[in-house]
């Protein structure tokens, strides 16, 4: 999850998850997870692009394996598949989930804090970056400078609320999950997903 984490740790974890997934049927779970059936497995829409689970592992639309953090998130999403789709769609902060513990510091500094440091005074740039990632403007009344909804996974949306700095307050960024997110992802996978969204928003800025 951090730059200093050895790739071998992700490699070991990834193959451990694949072994579990090989024995996990997805019949009847496609609607609950928002999957697309494929001839040789299932497809998971991930940040707007298909990632296919095959007998050989995860492959993206180019035939390559996604980055290790993305693989971990997708595998956990598939492994934690609930029996039915939960209805708890209220937006909540990451710190409000159980088992987040010390990860809340990572979330505050490396996820939300990075967005603040990068996009203070650049709300228009942030809006363009969000558009590049396919974010939508939710139909809800929020007093803020920017509010966008992302769908990195079919059943795990993220809501970004950003306020730029003014004469009275510093800039702030809040990245929220639906309450039911913990049914689909554990706390660590949620943190990785938020970090991967943050990385993509930074990369989108560099394109413009």
- pLDDT tens digits for 23-54? 777 767 889 999 988 877 899 999 999 999 99
State the average pLDDT over residues 60-68.
95
Q: What is the pLDDT of residue 26?
A: 76
DSSP state, residue 149? E
Q: In whole angstroms, give the CA distance from residue 80 to residue 169.
A: 40
Q: What is the pLDDT of residue 2?
A: 47
* CATH class given for the domain over 91-206: alpha beta
Strand partners of residue 92: 177
**H-run or E-run covering 178:** strand 172-178
Please check whether residue 193 is in contact with residue 158, taking contact to mean a CB–CB distance below 8 angstroms: yes
- Give Cα 62 distance to the centre of its chain: 21
Characterize the bridge pairing of strands 156-163 and 41-46. Answer: unpaired
Q: What is the pLDDT of residue 38?
A: 81
- pLDDT tens digits for 78-95? 999 998 999 889 999 999
Domain ranges (residues) in the chain: 9-80, 91-206
- pLDDT tens digits for 136-193? 999 888 899 999 999 999 999 999 999 999 989 999 999 999 999 999 999 999 999 9
Please check whether residue 30 is in contact with residue 38, taking contact to mean a CB–CB distance below 8 angstroms: no
């Amino acid at each position: 999850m951090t730059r200093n984490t050895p790739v071998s740790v992700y490699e070991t974890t990834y193959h451990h998850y694949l072994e579990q997934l090989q024995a996990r049927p997805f019949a009847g779970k496609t609607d609950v997870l928002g999957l697309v059936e494929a001839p040789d497995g299932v497809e998971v829409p991930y940040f707007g692009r298909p990632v296919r689970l095959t007998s050989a592992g995860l492959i993206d639309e180019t035939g390559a394996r996604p980055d290790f953090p993305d693989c971990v998130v997708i595998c956990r999403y598939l492994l934690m598949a609930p029996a039915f789709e939960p209805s708890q769609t209220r937006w909540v902060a990451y710190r409000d989930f159980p088992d987040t513990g010390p990860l809340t510091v990572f979330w505050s500094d490396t996820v939300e804090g990075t967005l603040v440091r990068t996009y203070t005074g650049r709300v228009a740039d942030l809006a363009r970056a969000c558009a590049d990632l396919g974010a939508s403007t939710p139909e809800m009344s929020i007093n803020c400078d920017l509010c966008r909804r992302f769908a990195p996974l079919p059943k795990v949306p993220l809501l970004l609320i950003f306020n730029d700095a003014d004469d009275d307050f510093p800039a702030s960024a809040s990245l929220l999950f639906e309450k039911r997110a913990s049914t689909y992802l554990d706390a660590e996978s949620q943190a990785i997903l938020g970090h991967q969204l943050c990385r993509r928003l930074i990369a989108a800025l560099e394109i413009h």
